[in-house]
């Protein structure tokens, strides 16, 4: 693999980790259906499905539905609020995080 190709792969992998971290932070800080003292990686099993939805520009309603399938409370306003935050995450591998 050429050095420039390797740099591109490294940059995309770094960006993928940043995206995962952004999703993880929203899930832990804003969604958190368990609600107490959970480790930051508690909801990592949800990241892949949410990323796929975000990558295909799913609606806030679709994102909220995905969260509802994994939530105990089902508070639609709360789920919509979290889904809105998730929808603002730039999941492009060719760009940096939004500021």
> Where along the chain do its domains lie?
3-87
Q: Token digits for 63?
A: 């994102």
Inter-residue contact 30 to 40 (CB < 8 Å):
no
Neighbours of 1 (CB within 10 A): 8
Q: Token digits for 28?
A: 């832990």
Nearest to 44 by CA among 80, 62, 19: 19
| Per-residue pLDDT tens digits of the chain, which is 99 residues long | 666 676 688 999 999 999 999 999 999 999 998 888 899 999 999 999 999 999 999 999 999 999 999 887 778 999 999 999 999 999 998 865 544
- 71-80 in b/e form (b: 16+ CB < 10 A) is beeeeeebbb
Regarding pTM above 0.75, the answer is yes
């Amino acid at each position: 693999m050429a050095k420039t190709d390797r740099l591109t792969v490294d940059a995309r992998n770094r960006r993928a980790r940043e995206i995962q971290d952004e999703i993880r932070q929203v899930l832990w800080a804003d969604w958190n259906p368990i609600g107490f003292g959970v480790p930051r990686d508690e909801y990592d099993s949800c990241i892949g499905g949410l990323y796929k939805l975000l990558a295909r520009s799913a609606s806030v309603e679709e994102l909220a539905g995905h969260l509802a399938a994994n939530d105990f409370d089902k508070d639609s306003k709360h789920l919509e609020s979290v889904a809105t935050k998730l929808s603002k995450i730039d999941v492009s591998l060719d760009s940096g995080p939004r500021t």
